[in-house]
A and B are shown apart, each in its own frame.
Chain A
């Protein structure tokens, strides 16, 4: 039997009829990204404990030491930061977590709030993502070179836990970088036909496979690049020693 008329929906931030924990994902994202930003900023300004034996922290690679007390990290971190900031996945993550635009699907936003999307400065600069991708590819080569150098200890060729950590770092970052939406477009997605481009189609399919898990690669590589730095810092500062496998 029909009864009890109720009022219609409310508006404003957080207004929703959703009954699930819609707030959990933006809170977790904000916590994860916030923790990484705080840690990486502290490490960038620390200007110490970034290299030990054959290992070099990815936060300081390539190592450009111009002295004057300026941390080498500050000279290079703009590149990976720019790549991730303009990344299509991270855009979703921080628009939801920090800008609450929207915090979650079918959830209200702030009432007084002028929305321009990515049509005006500064967000129109997101269109430059492909240029950050070009720079990121250079860094991938450098990080693989660092991983290669991590086999060469003072007493000869060997392998430590740090070597594995650095190889995984380069691997995860490669998976993230080559699953990039811009790369997927440039490598073949821009074509209207693959009729005369077998190689292009193969590359596009490969990038598409990585792209399907772009979020996973993004978080895995973010965590691991932080862990790699933490590992190098811990060994360099004497918190623990690197275990040599051979």
Chain B
């Protein structure tokens, strides 16, 4: 295979620049292979976060030619011959160094979400159909590509008011769990800012685990908020049925 030109953003949040490298790539390589080659041969101080190289740990998230992707899942033969490959760190989070960003904000938000709360006398028996529904959400590898691409965080920087798609997937997993008894609707409406989501589905488009974040997590949660806060008929039904 011919050499491929890589432009990699390096430096800190305050001072950064793109550096260009020519990499002799081999068949089957992914972007992370090339970054490792550069690290080994050209720039030993190049910072990159990675772990499994199998699209399961969610560590090597970056922006490749402007698109949020896992570097270990982005094959070089998907690019056109002679195409330059531009690699940037996630733009929604503060850069620490080179391709490594500080994603700790996501874990701070996760701490605010009520954990799984079963009833005291729970019989630990669940219907397979119920588990099939929430299993999709448990595929999340916390790569935070959805958080990175979400324009509410990326373009409008609503971090204090908006929890983001990853958090909504976590909440959907808990809210739809057959044995959970807690409600997170108040958090979703207020602190979590679900109303800021205008369902433009970028989170779903970039998810490397193919979780249907918008259709199966966010919109069902929006509908649950409608039940609770915006639907007078559902309210009346609740009053009279006691459910």
Contacts and interface: CB of A to CB of B under 8 A. Distances in A.
Same assembly: yes
Interface of A: 1-9, 16-19, 88, 91-92, 95-96, 101-102, 105-106, 108-109, 115-119, 123-124, 127-130, 181-182, 184-186, 189-190, 192-195, 201, 211-212, 214
The dominant DSSP class at the A interface is loop
B72 interface: no
B224 A101 contact: no
6 contacts: A2-B20, A5-B17, A6-B7, A8-B16, A102-B151, A129-B226
Nearest to A214: B215
Interface string B88-130: 1001000000000000000000000000000000000011011
Nearest to B7: A6
A6 B18 contact: yes
Contacts of B149: 105-106
B123 to A, nearest CB: 11
A3 B149 CA distance: 29
Question: Which residue, A3, A193, A201, A211, has most C-beta atoms of chain B within 10 A?
Answer: A193
B241 to A, nearest CB: 13
Contacts of A19: 65-66, 83
A128 to B, nearest CB: 7
Interface string B185-199: 000000001011111
B152 interface: yes
Given A106-B149, A109-B151, A117 B20 contact: no
A182 B225 CA distance: 12
Nearest to B206: A105
A5 B176 contact: no
Interface in B52-89: 63, 65-68, 83, 86, 88
A25 to B, nearest CB: 11
Interface stretch (B28-36, B153-161, B163-171): B153-161
Contacts of B205: 105
Contact of A118 (B91, B129, B195): B195
A96 B200 contact: yes
B25 interface: no
Given A3-B19, A19-B65, A117-B152, A127 B230 contact: yes
Interface in B9-60: 9, 16-22, 42-43
B227 interface: yes
